Chains A and B, each alone.
Chain A
Amino acid sequence: MSRHSRRGRAAVPLLGVLIGMLLAALAATPAPAQTAAVGLYQEGNQRYRDGDFSGARDRYLAAVEAGAEDPRLYYNLGNACFKTERLGEAVVWYERARRLAPRDEDVQANLRFVRRVKRDQEAGEEGWLQRAYLAPTLNELFALASGSLLVVFAAACWRIWRRRGSASTALLVVGGLTFLFWASFAAARLDRHLTRTEAVVTVEEGTARSGPEPGQTAVFVIHEGTKVTVERREGDWLLVRLANGLGGWLPADVVTVI
């Protein structure tokens, strides 16, 4: 028996174990099928089709209460809110759906539509860089980082196995750079996900003040559907910042955190 085939036979299961473990981790461990939530979702859909948008909204909300977390559910809930003239709430649910499914055409279209009908003009559309930055989900980014790390180890093994070889070295370098890219991308997005709090105005109108007191100077008036970034919380007041940089304190019940 030749040396290479004998050694190869040993290497294959080893790599198999590695890949299998990662795949097992990546494979979405689906939340236990929540029959109750699915039932409520279907019921909401039926009511929506029948034109009972308020009833549909109740069913969808009940499904969310039951613990279901699904972009389709959020999207449909956003639709039901919009149809019952809850503009801000619709934006909240669309935004939540977009976090889970950032490239969903329907979600994006409806968000654009709602932005067009709401009262406040937001500072410009997102640029292509911003859209590209938000396009992959966190899971996709982590999977890409892990995949490139796997490539790095595989290239290292190959390099050791063959003792020498420029191809394996090149693969090692490229894999390393790719891993660095995806890892930093994932880290940046994770940081944003964990630290950045966004909220949407869900009442018709709110007045932002210069401090967390009703007696403070009014800084600006904000209307339903406008998205803000929450920077700080103090009691029942939130320090929010608009996309154009304007900041002010809003009562917490004016906005809903996404």
Chain B
Amino acid sequence: MGATVTSGVPGVRPRPPVPAAWTCVVLVLWIMGATAVAAQPRFSARVDRARATQSEPIRLTLTLAADRSLNHVGAPTIDLSDFDVFGPSVSTRMEMVNGRTSFARELVYTLYGKRIGRYRIGPASLEFDGKVLTTEVVEVEVVRSRRRSSSSSSSSSGGSAGGATDGQDAGDAGGTTLEDVLFVRAAADRDTVYVGQQVVVRFDLCYRVTLRDVGFQEIPTFTGFWAKELFVAQRLSPQRERIDGEDFNVAPLRRVALFPTHAGRQTVEPLAVSASIPQGRRRGSLFDAMSLLDDPFFGRSQDLILRSLPFDLEVLPLPEAGRPDDFGGAVGTFALRADVQPRQVQVGDPVTLTLEVEGDGNLQTIAVPELDLPGFEVYDPTVEVQDGQTPTGGYGGRKTMEYILIPESAGRRRIPPVEIATFDPQARRYRTLASPAWTVDVAAGPGTASGGPAFDLTRSEIEQLGRDIRHIKPDVEHLGAPTPLYASALYWLAHLLLPVAFAGFVAYERHLRRLQGDEAYARRRRAGGEMTRRLRAAQERVGTGDGFHAALQEAVTTYIADQLNRPPASVTRDACRQLLRERGAGDGLGDEVDGLLERLEFGRFAPGSSSADERRQLLAEGEALLHRLREALT
């Protein structure tokens, strides 16, 4: 059978479609006058190699030959699930030999073994002319590639594995296998870890040939681990490294921090990378004539799939001895920083407690401590995680927890140390990170009861158990409601008296005003009082007789002068009679006044002529006369 395209490097598949190549195929077959085609349709399968490593392509060709046109044939059915499959590329050809025309149709699949082992390919089946044609079964073996030691690699301290093609395939590069020039290396920084401990796995592409179109084909799922990607290559950035005495370009592909979730042997799955190697020109080959086509655009290349080797990690369980009760699974090297601010507040003002855990390890496993602080209302903390690659090349960062505490009462409050339990894999023992204790001075705020001892106020809502009417009123000394005012006569009487009192007030006010402005009225109002005063003076003198007559005389004349608004000196005996007559008091009263005044004058000018009894008689007469005068003049 004529191979369609050959290649100097094993594991090459043609890049379809290259029209020039197919033209050649037709030509070659024509010249060779090749295969006689049977009258019966035939369907066959073959592979170009029966043994290959995972990185080497196996080309499977399915051929359908018949004596009539094959343009309308459906696709064959074949199970290739054990392989990564490229293709198929399809070609048809037609031959005329001795007047007989034969047709052939070829489908070429490029296969890469996914796992090590022996596999049976086929049978493939195809429906043609109402009949089902099947191929024979082809056996292939996918073998482990020669393990490449990476002990010379300085970066590798633990389990590592390289993958490449094996050397048993006869190459024509002078004994050099593909594995010698190209492989993916997987390495972990340690091979024994604790559950939850960080292990960093790196995948590097090591190569000594020119590569193109490198891409990730299959990313491991890391079953059994909590994984955090630390680095994913966007392009190859190789560094020179000497491996087994040979210089390689080593380009990091991926770096992953893995945290085993349970104990036992855990396998790190391989990483698969696709790449292609550009094909160099081959002297003397048929293609030299077509060298015009051998440029980067039309250039031929060899596509490959490279897999790292799987490897195992020994995962140890965390020791039971000395495990703190509040251990939440944090494994790693962590440091705790904590602070409380402000430390002098008023009741109701917030206090912030900040916990900051920093270090290498899985920050998600650091438990958020529950604070039970008597005297404070504690709100759920805000948690912030800043993670990424640490300076040591692993995964880590900082987890910040901020609690808001509201002091509920005044006093000096102590915040006890906050503790976070961790496991230190280096020291192989548990460690408890503890903050210092703090003291917060809480002052009574406005509106809060100040002073007094600070009580521990752990309160709960008071629950009402039942409802009832309120209790009866206590015993009393007296019973009785006030009388309704609207039914009280005294109440309404008081209101009647109000205007009366007001009228009285107005009259009184008028009187006072008149006293001020009307001299005659004022004298008249005063006359009675003056008279009484003078009569009292006369009475005091009755006994001795000294000045009695003058006093009584003055009482009478002054009273008449006041009542009639005359100067007192003008009221003589004659004037008296005259004035009284003018006021219509009658002559009798005038005569009486005249008589009394005459006797008083006599007594005045003849002292000692009268006895006390006579004077008393005189006083009584004077009083009676004045009484009659008051009646006559007012």
CB distance A10 to B482 under 8 Å? Answer: no
Q: Is B485 an interface residue (CB 8 A)?
A: yes
Q: Is B446 an interface residue (CB 8 A)?
A: no
Q: Is A150 an interface residue (CB 8 A)?
A: yes
Complex Cα distance, B476 from A38, in Å, reads 7
**Given A75-B472, A160-B505, residue A149 in contact with residue B495 (CB < 8 A):** yes
Q: Is A216 an interface residue (CB 8 A)?
A: no
Contact of B473 among A28, A76, A138 (CB under 8 A): A76
Q: Distance (Å) between the CB of B475 and the closest chain A CB?
A: 5
Q: Distance (Å) between the CB of A86 and the closest chain B CB?
A: 13
Complex Cα distance, B482 from A29, in Å, reads 6
CB distance A69 to B481 under 8 Å? Answer: yes
CB distance B494 to A25 under 8 Å? Answer: yes
Could you say which of B177-185, B209-217, B463-471 contacts chain A? Answer: B463-471
CB distance A142 to B486 under 8 Å? Answer: yes
Residue in B closest to A157 when the chains form the complex, CB atoms: B505
Q: Is A188 an interface residue (CB 8 A)?
A: no
- Please indicate the chain B residues that have their CB under 8 angstroms from the CB of A3 in the complex: 512, 516
Q: Is A132 an interface residue (CB 8 A)?
A: no
CB distance B470 to A37 under 8 Å? Answer: no
Complex Cα distance, B173 from A202, in Å, reads 118
- Please indicate the chain A residues that have their CB under 8 angstroms from the CB of B509 in the complex: 7, 160-161
Residue in B closest to A40 when the chains form the complex, CB atoms: B479
Q: Pick from B477, B501, B516 the residue with the most CB of A within 10 Å.
A: B501
CB distance B481 to A18 under 8 Å? Answer: no
- Please indicate the chain A residues that have their CB under 8 angstroms from the CB of B491 in the complex: 25-26, 142, 146
- Please indicate the chain B residues that have their CB under 8 angstroms from the CB of A34 in the complex: 479-480
Residue in A closest to B492 when the chains form the complex, CB atoms: A25
Contact with B along A127-160 (1 / 0, CB 8 A): 0000000000011001100100110010011001
- Please indicate the chain B residues that have their CB under 8 angstroms from the CB of A110 in the complex: 469-470
- Please indicate the chain A residues that have their CB under 8 angstroms from the CB of B512 in the complex: 3, 7, 10
Q: Is B483 an interface residue (CB 8 A)?
A: yes
CB distance B479 to A73 under 8 Å? Answer: yes
Contact with B along A14-39 (1 / 0, CB 8 A): 10011001101110111101100110
Q: Is A226 an interface residue (CB 8 A)?
A: no
Complex Cα distance, B498 from A18, in Å, reads 7
**Given A138-B486, A146-B494, A157-B505, residue A113 in contact with residue B469 (CB < 8 A):** yes
- Please indicate the chain B residues that have their CB under 8 angstroms from the CB of A149 in the complex: 495, 498
**Given A3-B516, A10-B508, A25-B491, residue A139 in contact with residue B473 (CB < 8 A):** no
Residue in B closest to A97 when the chains form the complex, CB atoms: B473
CB distance B485 to A72 under 8 Å? Answer: no
**Chain A at the B interface: SS class:** helix
CB distance A25 to B498 under 8 Å? Answer: no
Q: Is A79 an interface residue (CB 8 A)?
A: yes
Contact residues of A between 66 and 111, Cβ < 8 Å to B: 68-73, 75-76, 79-80, 82-83, 100, 106, 109-110
CB distance A25 to B490 under 8 Å? Answer: yes
Q: Distance (Å) between the CB of A117 and the closest chain B CB?
A: 9
Complex Cα distance, B480 from A70, in Å, reads 5
Q: Pick from B474, B481, B506 the residue with the most CB of A within 10 Å.
A: B481
**Given A18-B501, A71-B481, residue A114 in contact with residue B469 (CB < 8 A):** yes
CB distance B493 to A25 under 8 Å? Answer: yes
- Please indicate the chain B residues that have their CB under 8 angstroms from the CB of A29 in the complex: 482-483, 488, 490
Q: Distance (Å) between the CB of B140 and the closest chain A CB?
A: 90
Q: Is B502 an interface residue (CB 8 A)?
A: yes
Residue in A closest to B469 when the chains form the complex, CB atoms: A110
Could you say which of A41-49, A118-126, A205-213 contacts chain B? Answer: A41-49
Q: Is B595 an interface residue (CB 8 A)?
A: no
CB distance A82 to B497 under 8 Å? Answer: no
Residue in B closest to A79 when the chains form the complex, CB atoms: B472
CB distance A139 to B472 under 8 Å? Answer: no
Q: Is B283 an interface residue (CB 8 A)?
A: no
**Given A41-B479, A45-B474, A68-B479, residue A138 in contact with residue B516 (CB < 8 A):** no
- Please indicate the chain B residues that have their CB under 8 angstroms from the CB of A180 in the complex: none
- Please indicate the chain B residues that have their CB under 8 angstroms from the CB of A190 in the complex: 486
Q: Is B478 an interface residue (CB 8 A)?
A: yes
Complex Cα distance, B472 from A41, in Å, reads 11
Contact of B502 among A38, A79, A139, A153 (CB under 8 A): A153
Complex Cα distance, B482 from A28, in Å, reads 5
- Please indicate the chain A residues that have their CB under 8 angstroms from the CB of B19 in the complex: none
**Given A79-B469, A106-B473, residue A11 in contact with residue B505 (CB < 8 A):** yes
Contact with B along A221-244 (1 / 0, CB 8 A): 000000000000000000000000
A-B contact pairs, 8 of them (CB 8 A): A7-B509, A31-B480, A69-B479, A70-B479, A76-B473, A79-B470, A138-B486, A143-B485
Given contacts A45-B475, A138-B486, 16 further A-B contacts (CB under 8 A): A14-B504, A21-B493, A33-B478, A34-B479, A38-B477, A69-B479, A72-B476, A73-B479, A76-B473, A79-B470, A79-B471, A113-B467, A138-B485, A139-B484, A146-B494, A157-B505
The 6 A-B pairs at the shortest CB distance, nearest first, are namely A28-B482, A31-B480, A72-B473, A25-B491, A142-B485, A76-B472
